[in-house]
Amino acid sequence: MADMDLTPRTGPEDGSGVAKKKRNVLPMLVLGLVLVAGGVIVTQFLNSAVDYFCNVDEVGQVDGCEEGRRLRLQGTVDAGSIDKSIPGVTAFTMSFGEATIPVQYEGEPGGIFKECIPVVVHGEITNNLLDGDRVEVKHSNEYVEVNDDNLEEAEEYADAECPTTDA
């Protein structure tokens, strides 16, 4: 077997004595941009996922249930309040306890949306108007699944306000 030189190397082969490390800045820059973009996306997701749940009578009374923030607002659609006179917009009022708030929703709520049933409207309150972007109707599976803890109280309120309803 040939003799192998096992002495440790002390520098580069060219004899300059200085090890040069070439670092490519582009991959580090791309990685930094990806991390920043990921952070922005996660922050936006978490902000939209934290919608406070409130009843109409808690607006302005309970921390987290104030104007200018996203809410999930529960109430009963008031009898005779549904207005579809503006094309593409459903307007109505909803109440809970002693409080009432007007709601504006772009589109058709769908399902069995009607007066005198509990609903949860997702949106933001501005100038005492709830600008909704999603409506959950009491009888939908999603409404029951997400709002089961509050459903009994909402049904009692609806029955008291609209005793002829079959809600």
Give φ, ψ of 124 to 5 degrees: -130, 140
CATH 1.10.10.10 for domain 51-161? no
What pLDDT digit, counting tens, does each position of 30-72 carry?
999 999 999 888 877 766 566 788 999 999 888 888 898 888 9
Distance CA 156, CA 73 (A): 17
In this structure, which amino acid lies at residue 13?
E
Give percent of the chain with pLDDT exceeding 70. Answer: 72
User: Rounded to an integer, what distance in angstroms lies between the CA atom of residue 46 and that of residue 65?
Assistant: 18
The reported pLDDT for the residue numbered 165 is 44
Q: What is the pLDDT of residue 47?
A: 60
CB contact at 8 A, 138 and 151: yes
Distance set, CA 78 to CA 95, 107, 135 (Å): 7, 19, 15
Q: Which residues contact 64 (CB under 8 A, 6 or more apart)?
A: 52, 54
Q: Where are the domains of the chain?
A: 51-161
pLDDT score at 107: 86
Q: What does pLDDT average to over the chain?
A: 81
Q: What is the pLDDT of residue 9?
A: 75
For residue 20, what pLDDT band results from cuts at 50, 70 and 90? low
Confidence bin at 126 (pLDDT 50/70/90):
very high
pLDDT (tens digit per residue) in 68-108: 888 899 999 999 999 999 999 999 999 998 999 999 999 88
At residue 166 the predicted structure's pLDDT band, cuts being 50, 70 and 90, is very low
Q: Residues 61, 143: contact at Cβ < 8 Å? A: no
pTM exceeds 0.75, yes or no:
no
Residue 103, strand partner residues: 92, 130
